[in-house]
Amino acid sequence: MNLNTPNKLIIFRFILTLIIIIILSFVPLSLTNNFSFSIGSDIYVSWLNVIALILFIIASFTDYLDGYLARKNNQITNFGKFFDPLADKVLINSVLVFFAAFEYIPIWIVVIFIIRDIMVDGLRMNLSTKGKVLSADKFGKLKTFFQMIGIIVLFIIHSQPTSNYWGYNYDSYYAFSLIPILIALYFSIYSGIKYYYNNIQELF
């Protein structure tokens, strides 16, 4: 395996994802143990939530940086083509699962994202057995971009998981925080259909 800088950044993104998952797991506990700060009357933000947001922004930046360096230095590899989109999906879907549990986002949106990604990864694995690599196209990249923006917005808008006041409400103005995620949902479905349409002959 050619462990050039772009590939190292991909591995680093996997490591950051694991750290973010561990941190988010302890967010509710941190609020009950006063590891938080106040931003208003009865509104507290966990310091772990802030740390997870910062790490997510860093991980998101590595997604841009590894692609930029790979193209600039002509270091595009099959490892990068395969694992770069996989690293994005693991990062994004892991955070979205926690957001659904924290009631920041409706669960059905997360389910659609995960089902789409499983189907695309299945196609990618099928093509890899035939010596072909399914690279992310511009619509897949737009999906990832809006997912990352949407997650950052949700991190900022919501401060407390699973509470009556901050829990997700279809009728509240917090629904507007889902706009980037809904745009990502469109690109997710469209790009998934496009991947299969362009490679349907390879499946049989």
pTM of the prediction?
0.86
Domains of the chain: 5-203 (1.20.120.1760)
- Summarised one tens digit per residue, pLDDT across range 85-136 is 889 999 999 999 999 988 888 899 999 999 999 999 888 888 888 778 777 7
Q: Please report which confidence band the pLDDT of residue 165 belongs to, taking 50, 70 and 90 as the band edges.
A: very low
For residue 138, what are its two tokens? 């511009």
- Summarised one tens digit per residue, pLDDT across range 29-88 is 888 888 877 776 667 788 999 999 999 999 999 989 998 888 888 888 878 877 888 899
> Residue 4 above 80 pLDDT?
yes
